[in-house]
A = this chain, B = another copy of it.
Amino acid sequence: MPPKPFSSVWTREHRGPREQGLSRDQIVRAALEILDADGLDALSMRKLGARLGAGATSLYWHVAHKDELIELVMDEVYGKVAVPEEASWRETAGVFAYGLRHAILDHPWSAGLIGVVPALGPNALTAADRLMGAFVRAGFEGIDVDYAVTAVVAFTLGATVPEVAWLNAMAASGTDMDKLHADIGPVVVKLASERPHLRQRYENYTGEKFDPHVARRLAFDFGLMALLDGLQARLPSSP
A120 CB within 8 Å of chain B? yes
Q: Would B222 and A151 count as touching, CB distance under 8 A?
A: yes
With both beta carbons as reference points, the residue of chain B lying nearest to A150 in the complex is identified as B219
Binds B, one of A30-38, A52-60, A187-195: A187-195
Known: A129-B197, A165-B117. A146 touches B204 (CB 8 A): yes
Secondary structure type dominating chain A contacts: helix
Chain A, 140-158, contact with B by CB distance < 8 Å: what is the 0/1 string?
A: 0011111110110111111
Q: Would B159 and A150 count as touching, CB distance under 8 A?
A: yes
Q: Would B125 and A191 count as touching, CB distance under 8 A?
A: yes
Chain A, 151-172, contact with B by CB distance < 8 Å: what is the 0/1 string?
A: 1011111110110011001101
- For A158, give its contact among B157, B172, B200 (CB under 8 Å): B157
Q: Would A151 and B157 count as touching, CB distance under 8 A?
A: no
Q: Would B161 and A115 count as touching, CB distance under 8 A?
A: yes
Q: Would B115 and A162 count as touching, CB distance under 8 A?
A: yes
Chain A, 204-226, contact with B by CB distance < 8 Å: what is the 0/1 string?
A: 10000000000100110011011
